Amino acid sequence: MDSTARRFEDNARTALDSPTLQAALAKLADGFPRRRREAAERLPEFEELRDAARAIKEHVLDHLDLYLETFERRVTENGGEVHWCRDAQEARETILDICRRVGARTVTKSKTMIGEEIAINDYLEENGIRPVETDLGEYIIQLRREPPSHIIAPAIHLSLGEVAETFRKSHTHLAPERALNEPDALLAEARAKLRPDFLTADVGITGANMLIAETGSNVLVTNEGNADLTHTLPRVHIVIASIEKIVPTLEDATTVLRVLARSATGQDVTVYTSFCSGPRRPGDPDGPDEYHVVLLDNGRARLLETEFRDILRCIRCGACLNHCPVYRAVGGHAYGWVYSGPMGAVLIPALLGTHEARHLPNASTLCGRCESVCPMRIPLPRMLRAWRERLHRERRTGWLARIGLAAWAFVAARPRLYRRLTAPLVRALGNLAGARRRFRVLPFLGGWTATRDFPAPEGETFMTLWAESDRGRTKP
């Protein structure tokens, strides 16, 4: 998909002005976060599991080449084939070559963020092959020609009425007056529409929640079962995954699974968890004739030696999005590309460059909630600060911000000057605040006061109080 990340500020204003989106995001605030908290409380060893999962992924990053080569050997032994792709274009061409070789006309897909990252749907359509999304949320946004707005809930920005309207416009062979005011009715209609595609598709494309080096398997977790129909019914199964999805053993995969669903949807385990280990063997009742794994780098390998290496531990659970005050205010489309929320604000500049995504590292309050709920304990606030430092060095921040920061640094590095400037300012603001003790308008703070009041300072500055306390402690 084409990126609009450079227009983040405009995208965010549009999102804030949309009452429909704001109503949808309001439901998010109590849904996923509450269920995650309850799921964690039901499992006494949840924090220990987070540590264990983090250690597994960290070990993998230390030995990524070893485990990727082991995975390839196992896939080959199982009768499959691994395709190494440096970038999105190589991945798209590889998938198209496979589809053309087998004469594919229709391709079913289960939800895959890497598929969104390489824009495989658009590429297949441009080359005469019809891709059909089979995850309900992905199917809805495919009909609307929209990108996903959330990693695990791609259509969360839509109301029930908007989905019903989309179905009426797209499913024109059905009676227009049919009732579509209940979720079950929408689900039944989508299921009936997708069933023939499941049965006639030539190729099935899935993502991978994990790749297991020990067995050469890919792991799929869903709640709808569409991924199982996507990889078992067509003649060819193509897995598309990025290189950091590898884990060493089956036991390691089960450890990660125990924190994945709890962090994502608050479930102890997803409804369907599938392990695919190659094409159908003699005697198997079902399965594909061919099994391909498209391994995508797309700039991830170069992150290994940078301060952004920790983002490669991400398992795409979406917990950081669900708890981020910025994401909950503007939604996923404001970020302008495939990923969103705190993990997107770190990953998008790494994949697209700071020239495209310079606003995103500033789309955070740095409250730290994202890190506190991340099952992999990824230090997202630290990496967001690192991006801000890099943007400042590259002079990609605005001139006013650079001058303001330079002035602040000059004053903050001189404690005596700092105290002389801030103490009278604090007292003046305190005296001018009036009975409400808040300001609706202040010079140079229009960005703050446009949407909320500025609280009046109360009492003395921290430095003054510290000095007074220090004098009290040193009195004989």
Does pLDDT of 137 surpass 90?
yes
pLDDT band at 474 (very low <50, low <70, confident <90, very high): low
Rounded Cα–Cα distance for residues 81 and 72 (Å): 8
pTM over 0.75: yes
Does pLDDT of 475 surpass 70?
no
* Inter-residue contact 213 to 74 (CB < 8 Å): yes
pLDDT band at 353 (very low <50, low <70, confident <90, very high): very high
Output the pLDDT for position 378.
98
Report the pLDDT averaged over residues 271-288: 93
* Inter-residue contact 235 to 290 (CB < 8 Å): yes
What residues have CB less than 8 Å from 352, skipping those under 6 apart?
3, 5, 337
What residues have CB less than 8 Å from 278, skipping those under 6 apart?
75, 78, 79, 80, 216, 291
Lowest model confidence (mean pLDDT) among 15-19, 115-119, 287-291, 467-471: 467-471
The model's pLDDT over 176-209, given as tens digits with 9 standing for 90+, comes to 889 998 999 999 999 999 999 999 999 999 999 9
291: enclosing H helix or E strand: strand 290-296
Comparing C-alpha atoms, which of 215, 204, 231, 221 is closest to residue 277? 215
Does pLDDT of 476 surpass 70?
no
Percent of the chain with pLDDT over 70: 99
